[in-house]
Amino acid sequence: MSRLVQQFQLRAPIVQAPMAGVSTVELAAAVSQYGGIGSLGLGHLDVASARAQIEQLQQRTSGPIHVNFFCHQPEASNLERELHWLHVLTPYFKEYQAEPPTELGQSYQSAWQHPALIDMLCETRPTIVSFHFGVPEASALQRLQAAGIAIWGCATTLTEAKFLEHTGVDAIIAQGIEAGGHRGIFNPLIDSALPLSSLLAQLQEHIHLPIIAAGGLMTGSQIAAAQLAGADLAQLGTAFICCPESAADDAYKAALLGQRAYDTTITPVISGRPARGLRNRMHDEIHALRADLPAYPIAYNAAKALHLVASAKGSHDFAAHWAGQGAPLARALPAARLLDELCNEYYQAKAQFCSLA
Report residue 335 CA to chain centroid gap: 18
Cis-peptide into 297, omega within 30 deg: yes
Is residue 121 in a domain? Answer: yes
Report residue 135 CA to chain centroid gap: 15
One domain for residues 232 and 316: no
Query: Is the pLDDT assigned to residue 354 strictly greater than 90?
Result: no
Question: Is residue 203 a contact partner of residue 214, using CB atoms and an 8 Å limit?
Answer: no
> What range does the domain containing 44 cover?
3-74+110-257+330-356
Give me the pLDDT at residue 298, please: 94
- Over range 74-79, report the average pLDDT: 87
Question: Is residue 28 a contact partner of residue 65, using CB atoms and an 8 Å limit?
Answer: yes
Is residue 206 in a domain? Answer: yes
- Over range 90-115, report the average pLDDT: 94
Q: How many domains does the chain divide into?
A: 2
Query: Is the pLDDT assigned to residue 356 strictly greater than 90?
Result: no
One domain for residues 202 and 295: no
Give me the pLDDT at residue 1, please: 66
One domain for residues 18 and 33: yes
Report residue 318 CA to chain centroid gap: 19
- Residue 233 sits in a domain whose CATH number is 3.20.20.70
Residue 292 pLDDT grade (very low, low, confident, very high; cuts 50, 70, 90): confident
Q: What angle, 0 to 180 degrees and rounded to 10, lies between the N-to-C axes of helices 115-124 and 138-146? A: 10
DSSP type of residue 177: T
Query: Is the pLDDT assigned to residue 75 strictly greater than 90?
Result: no
Give me the pLDDT at residue 189, please: 87
What is the model's pTM? 0.96
For the chain, how many helices (H) and strands (E)? 13, 11
One domain for residues 302 and 336: no
Question: Is residue 14 a contact partner of residue 2, using CB atoms and an 8 Å limit?
Answer: no
Strands (E), 71-164: 128-132, 150-155
d(CA 253, CA 333): 11
Question: Is residue 299 a contact partner of residue 271, using CB atoms and an 8 Å limit?
Answer: yes
One domain for residues 194 and 251: yes
Residue 357 pLDDT grade (very low, low, confident, very high; cuts 50, 70, 90): low
Is residue 148 in a domain? Answer: yes
Give me the pLDDT at residue 352, please: 87
Instruction: Express each pLDDT in 244-267 by its tens digit.
Output: 999 999 999 999 999 999 999 999
DSSP type of residue 322: B
One domain for residues 144 and 279: no
One domain for residues 85 and 168: no
Mean per-residue pLDDT of the chain: 96
**How does strand 128-132 pair with strand 275-278?**
unpaired
One domain for residues 160 and 137: yes
One domain for residues 242 and 276: no
Give me the pLDDT at residue 74, please: 86
One domain for residues 97 and 229: no
Instruction: Express each pLDDT in 159-178 by its tens digit.
Output: 999 999 999 999 999 999 99
Q: Please give the helix or strand (H or E) that residue 211 lies within, else none.
A: strand 211-214
Is residue 177 in a domain? Answer: yes
Q: Which residue has the higher pLDDT, 62 or 357?
A: 62
- For residue 154, what are the β-bridge partners? 173
CB atoms within 10 A of CB 70: 24
Give me the pLDDT at residue 235, please: 98
d(CA 245, CA 268): 28
Rounded CA Rg of the chain = 20
d(CA 27, CA 69): 18
One domain for residues 114 and 98: no
Is residue 262 in a domain? Answer: no
Question: Is residue 198 a contact partner of residue 215, using CB atoms and an 8 Å limit?
Answer: no
d(CA 108, CA 129): 17
Is residue 263 in a domain? Answer: no
CB atoms within 10 A of CB 291: 6
One domain for residues 273 and 235: no
CB atoms within 10 A of CB 190: 10
In sequence order, the 6+-apart residues with CB closer than 8 A to the CB of 6 are none
Query: Is the pLDDT assigned to residue 87 strictly greater than 90?
Result: yes
